[in-house]
Structure 1
Amino acid sequence: MEAKRCIVHIDLDSFFVSVERKFNPDLIGKPVLIGGSADRGVVASCSYEARKFGIHSAMPMKQAMKLCPHATIIRGSHGRYSEASREVTQIIHDSVPLYQKTSIDEFYIDLTGMDRFHDCYQLATDLRQRIIRETGLPISFGMASCKTVAKMATNAAKPNGQLLIEHGKEKEFMAPLSIRKIPMLGEKTCQKLYQFGIEKIGDLQRVELKFLETVFGKHGRYIWERANGIDESEIVPHSDRKSISTENTFEADVNDAKTLETVLVSMTEELAYKLRKENKVASCLAIKIRFANFETHTVQEKIALTAAEHILIPGIKNLLKKAWNGHRPIRLIGVKLSNLCPGSYQINLFEDNEERIKLYQAMDKINFKFGDKTVCRAAGMAIGTRNFNPFLKD
């Protein structure tokens, strides 16, 4: 007989705000906004006190300040958040056999089979208390038979709480909740369901699978399964991959700065896109240059955590100036992003405005759907794919 699955979802509450409050306790109990400038920035994170005014992440800062004029705005500190995330990750790593880190502040843990030796809910409770005690950060968790229900349980337990959904009680727990509470159910899908009078998950549970497949195609089965608490997706072990790179060998040696920059822009875009697709950010960038005589040089520099090419591209161009005198012909050039860690690229755009974030979201949405490099910067269009690049070998 197959063991009943026991999945724990852990989420650090208002993570950025909580970290800032550790360094400045005066912020406790007050509406706090983390993000860019009050004029054109966006909200990267906000406290629960701010959420009561209708503020949410990705909202334009100007709009948030209209809703809550007395809120405190903080630019945010990449280093502090990365360090706090590392502390929590280490505690989880030392405490459980199998876990998955899905973002800078979110984890899934698989305790399946451990009920033969432990009370799994007590084990999760002890882990939560240890994290709170050792890091000083508030944290919530949900426990259930699958990732979807565990995540929904965490959201119901927030802030700073915990909730167990017993096996067999998944549908009962979900039924009264809004269909919007189902993870990964998009706005368009919800609007379509509303047209059929389906607003609560309980309504969705009573709908025939065939009907959903007729309306939504293959996605219909996903909707039906999630609404009924069915989610077979596995916990993917925490990845230790620390770098991502690409390089190109020229068919003929190149000493034209414009050509080299065009290639670098294209490669950097490609890597940044892959980082965002994998929900990762980098804190070190490097270029590799091999001259005509096969002499090879690598130059690198530390940067704030990011996966945004408008930050990476100027850095890469600057490294090219450091590594190349503008005269020696180049045989090979490469780009490497390293010191990777999980995290949404939006959290690193504290200096950004709403338009730029929307641009990234739109570009990624099209590229995810139709393939890499469907849309890119004009500077990178000359490169496209290897097959169409006159400068590169296949």
Structure 2
Amino acid sequence: MADHARPGPQQTVQRTILHADMDAFFVSVELRRHPELAGQPVVVGGTGNRGVVAAASYEARRFGVHSALPSAIAKRRCPHAVFLPGDHEHYGEVSRQVREVFDRYTPLVEPRSLDEAFLDVTGSLKLFGDGVTIGHRIRDQIRDELDLGCSVGVATNKFLAKLASVEAKPRALTDRIEPGEGVTLVPADGAQEFLDRLPVKRLWGVGPATLEKLERLGIATVKDLRLIDLPVLSTAIGANLSGHLAALAVGADDRAVDPEREAKSIGHEETYPHDKHTPREMTRELVRLADAVARRMRKQGVAARTWQIKVRFAAGFTTITRSVTTGDFLDRAPDILELVGPVLDAIDPSPGVRLLGLSGSNLGQPSAQLTFDDLDESTPDVAATTDAMDAIRERFGDRAIGPASAVSGGKLKTVRRGAQQWGPDEDGAAR
């Protein structure tokens, strides 16, 4: 095998990039509210049979419990675990407090989720010290001010910094919890040595199918990948993916930290405690989803041209998606329902629907196109009605007003952001 025709790093200025990743974030936030659970296996997520794990304490991870694991399996693996329903709104508030710490060191902060972010501190080195020093200062302030743990990777680009933060984290072994370094540096002159020893599955883009193909070629580590002939790799996994992985194998990543990074789509999906079988049930759920997603878009000042419905059936977990694109940017539920309602009507729910989702993409500024209906005083003013509902919710809370079809048992069943991660709890409520 030969090491040739390989891409190399394209950067002309050596940057200092940090990847800060909170340790078991949701669980750690909950432990601040439940200090009596410290040291116990704690799981945050959906507590019902159709729920999923959002986060697990390191004590729970010792038993093989991890995020995205079905809650039913987590309970079998760790019967004595304490399950707590999630509180996405509270986690968002704590995430903003963490962000305030990041902002003390650089304006170049790119959030990746509630619990992780990239920071470009190249312009802050003279003021605060080198990357490792800044990493330790961030960790110390988050610990002292917020009582939370954070691991930081330091490198010359985002890819290496992300890998380094994983190395800095605590590790849950079957017999113990091994503390991490807290801050791990990948020096520019040691990047290849760091990469070569890693299993190839750690590279972005190596999923189960690709890993199987690489293993057939005898590729187990990044070094194995780096040394294989590129034409052989291209034949096995395709030219585009082989070029991508070949670049990562030598640590090439010229992406800048983007503080203006915007969401590519906004959506919500819910897993139901009991299957939905009728068109009426599906329409009622779609109304709830459209109301919630549209409100999130209006809060962010965006609207979508492409709308997608996702349906997962109970039998075999078969999942289908259907999308439709319009010329207008929509951010109001009635307009969205008029567009996607017929799409849902064409899907037969009688086999039993386990999950329904709605998302909007192709984002832009809301469009307000006047029609002849706008001149008819008998036509409902959708914009005015929507604005009034937003104002009521801002003042009195999300459950103050909503679609009539979302009322069940005398109560308004609202959509809570984050429910798509965790599924329904024992009481049937989507978290």
TM-score range, shorter chain: 0.5 to 0.7
Find the aligned partners of 2:73 and 2:253 in 1 and give their Cα distance. Answer: 37
Question: How much has 1:28 moved relative to structure 2?
Answer: 1.4
**How far apart are residue 244 of structure 1 and its match?**
2.5
With over 3 angstroms needed to count, the CA separation of the structure-2 counterparts of 1:223 and 1:26, relative to structure 1, is same
RMSD over aligned Cα, in angstroms?
3.8
Alignment partner of 2:155 out of 132, 140, 144? 144
Counterparts in 2 of 1:115 and 1:90: CA distance versus 1, 3 Å = closer
Moved over 6 A (4+): none
| Contact 1:42 1:61 survives alignment (8 Å) | yes
Q: Hey, what does 1:245 align to over in structure 2?
A: 303
- How many Å apart are 1:128 and its aligned residue? 2.0
Indicate which of 173, 198, 212 corresponds to 2:233: 212
Please give the alpha-carbon distance, in whole angstroms, between the structure 2 residues aligned to 1:246 and 1:71.
41
Alignment counterpart, residue 191 of structure 1, candidates 209, 212, 221 = 212
CA distance in 2: counterparts of 1:185 and 1:297, whole angstroms? 49
Say which of 227, 230, 236 aligns to 2:249.
227
1:57 to 67, 74, 77: 67
- Does the CA contact (< 8 Å) of 1:5 and 1:146 recur in 2? yes
Residue of structure 2 equivalent to 1:71: 81
Residue of structure 2 in register with 1:21 after alignment = 31
Secondary structure, in 3 states, of the residue corresponding to 1:188? helix
Aligned to 1:162: 183
Residue aligning to 1:297: 384
Amino acid in the other structure paired with 1:4: Q
Return the offset for 1:115. 3.8
Partner of 2:139: 128
Q: Report the alpha carbon displacement of residue 172 of structure 1 after superposing the two structures with TM.
A: 0.7
Q: Is the 8 A contact 1:44 1:350 kept in 2?
A: no
- TM-superposed CA distance for 1:245, in Å, is 2.2
| Partner of residue 173, structure 1 | 194
The equivalent of 1:371 in structure 2 is none
The residue that corresponds to 2:310 in the other structure is none
> Secondary structure of the residue that 1:168 maps to in structure 2?
helix
The change in CA–CA distance for 1:175 and 1:131 in structure 2 (over 3 A counts) is: same
Partner Cα separation in structure 1 for residue 191 and residue 46 of structure 2: 40
1:351 alignment partner, one of 393, 407, 424: 424
Q: Secondary structure at the match of 2:302?
A: strand
C-alpha separation between the residues in 2 aligned to 1:122 and 1:266? 57
Q: What is the DSSP-based 3-state SS (H/G/I as helix, E as strand, rest coil) of the residue aligned with 1:11?
A: strand
TM-score (norm 1): 0.67
For 2:134, the aligned partner's letter is L
SS in 2 for 1:95: coil
- Distance in 1 separating the partners of 2:14 and 2:209: 34
Q: Which residue of 2 aligns with 1:42?
A: 52
Stretches of structure 2 that go unaligned for 5 or more consecutive residues are 1-10, 171-179, 264-299, 307-325, 327-333, 345-356, 364-369, 395-400, 407-414
Separation in 2 of the partners of 1:36 and 1:75?
6
Change (3 A) 1:261 1:59: same
Cα displacement string for residues 16-68 of structure 1 (whole angstroms, at most 9, x for unaligned residues): 10000010012211111111124221111111111111122111111111111
Larger displacement relative to structure 2 (227-236 or 101-110): 227-236
Q: Distance in 2 between matches of 1:115 and 1:90?
A: 19
In structure 2, relative to structure 1, the CA distance for the partners of 1:212 and 1:352 (3 Å cut) is: farther
Distance 1:176 1:85, change over 3 A: same
User: 2:250, 2:109 → 1: CA distance?
Assistant: 24
| Distance change in 2, residues 1:316/1:146 (3 Å) | farther
Q: Distance in 1 between matches of 2:131 and 2:28?
A: 27
Preserved CA contact (<8 Å) 2:152 2:183: yes
1:320-360 Cα deviation digits (max 9, x unpaired): xxxxxxxxxxxxxxxxx9xxxxx97743x44279xxx9xxx
In structure 2, distance between residues paired with 1:4 and 1:90: 26
Whether contact under 8 Å (2:88, 2:418) holds in the other structure is no
Query: Contact between 2:23 and 2:151, CA under 8 Å: does it hold in 1?
Result: yes
Counterparts in 2 of 1:170 and 1:66: CA distance versus 1, 3 Å: same
Paired-residue identity, %: 31
Corresponding position: 1:30 with 2:40? yes
Structure 1 unaligned segments of length 5 or more: list them: 251-257, 279-287, 304-313, 320-336, 338-342, 358-394
Alignment partner of 1:263 is 2:343: no
Q: Deviations over 1:113-149 (max 9, x none)?
A: 5445532321222122112211111110100111111
- 1:34–1:45: 8 Å Cα contact kept in structure 2? yes
Q: Decide whether the 8 Å contact of 1:261 with 1:317 is kept in 2.
A: no
Partner of 2:320: none
Shift in alpha-carbon separation, 1:99–1:37, aligned structure 2, 3 A: same
**Matches of 2:90 and 2:17, distance apart in 1:** 29
TM-score w.r.t. length of structure 2: 0.62
Q: 1:28 to 1:184 in 2, by over 3 A?
A: farther
- Residues 1:240 and 1:171: Cα distance change in structure 2 (over 3 Å): closer
The 5 A counterparts of 1:73-152 are 73-116=83-126, 118-152=129-163
